[in-house]
Amino acid sequence: MIYGDRWPQLLSVLSVGREVQVARWNRFLGELPGGQGAVGLHQVKPLLPDCYEFVKSSEVPRSESGLLGYYVMDPASVVAARALGVQAGDRVLDLCAAPGGKSLILAEAIAEKGELIANEPSVPRKERLKKVIQQYVPRDIRDRIWVTGYDGARWASQQKASFDKILVDAPCSGERYLLENPKELKEWSISRSKQLAHRQYALVAGAILALKSGGRLVYSTCSISPLENDGVIEKVMKKKGDLVRLVAAANFETSAMDSIEATKFGSAIFPDRSGWGPIYFSVLEKI
């Protein structure tokens, strides 16, 4: 068994169906008005900047321009998105962008100089992504955000050396979702995970071609499957190791390091130990 003695506890936590979520404050609105208590938010621990305990009964505040005050998401997803290290002025690609929480983090980071391509091939998910960006991002910033619907692997492979930073938050098994949906769980098989891993590798391989020299790529999933996590990056390093190098986890999000587990080719945040996730991510840099 992959997780050995750890598996019963990990399965139990995943089966509960209640992931930890935080209210991540919208940085486009500046400081939290009136202090965090004014909107019923309290800083999470371990500290994550702009992330607060989420209470479902809390009303989401709006700015005078109508932008929503915070976005609810898994804190582990915040860590994965920030691992990309986006800077003001970067040209950024979010290759599998829906539902949009990570895209918002990237949009905030490019500030008033960069550009963001948020790509989502699924039409319904793409429409949801558009709505999220409209609800949270000021119009002048939205003018430098493009929502597209391309086949990620094929399109990225044609964008030679076009982006400073690329996030590949790939479609995956999503075991927490599977355990909440008996029909989906019944249809799952190891061959399905292998097929996903093949698709995930294609997305990363295409993204590497689209990345500029010295640029950074983050590959992430919400899966606990080694096939879809380290297995994908191991294949990348075997086939594309002359193009990219691994970046150590110690280089980012030090405030959440006690929640991050090192793997052979990346990092993982699993709910049986941290209460967050599951999230796997690996950071690559174009040579």
Domains and CATH numbers, the chain: 75-266+280-286 (3.40.50.150)
Inform me whether the pLDDT recorded for 39 exceeds 70: no
Two tokens, residue 285: 């840099």
- Burial of residue 48 (number of CB atoms within 10 Å: 0-12, 13-18, 19+): buried
User: What is the pLDDT averaged over residues 264-284?
Assistant: 93
Inform me whether the pLDDT recorded for 46 exceeds 90: no
The pLDDT value given to residue 181: 72
Residue at 106: amino acid letter: L
pLDDT band at 11 (very low <50, low <70, confident <90, very high): confident
Two tokens, residue 17: 């169906």
Please give the model's pTM, rounded to 2 decimal places.
0.93
Give catalytic status of residue 222 as yes or no.
yes
Inform me whether the pLDDT recorded for 163 exceeds 60: yes
Two tokens, residue 199: 């698709």
Inform me whether the pLDDT recorded for 252 exceeds 70: no
Instruction: Give CA–CA dist 171/189, Å, rounded.
Output: 16
Range with lowest mean pLDDT among 27-41, 116-130, 173-187, 204-218:
27-41
Residue at 18: amino acid letter: R
The pLDDT value given to residue 167: 98
Inform me whether the pLDDT recorded for 219 exceeds 80: yes
The pLDDT value given to residue 174: 82
Range with lowest mean pLDDT among 48-52, 55-59, 130-134, 167-171:
55-59
Which string of b and e fits 215-228 if b means at least 16 CB within 10 Å? Answer: bbbbbbbbbbbbbb
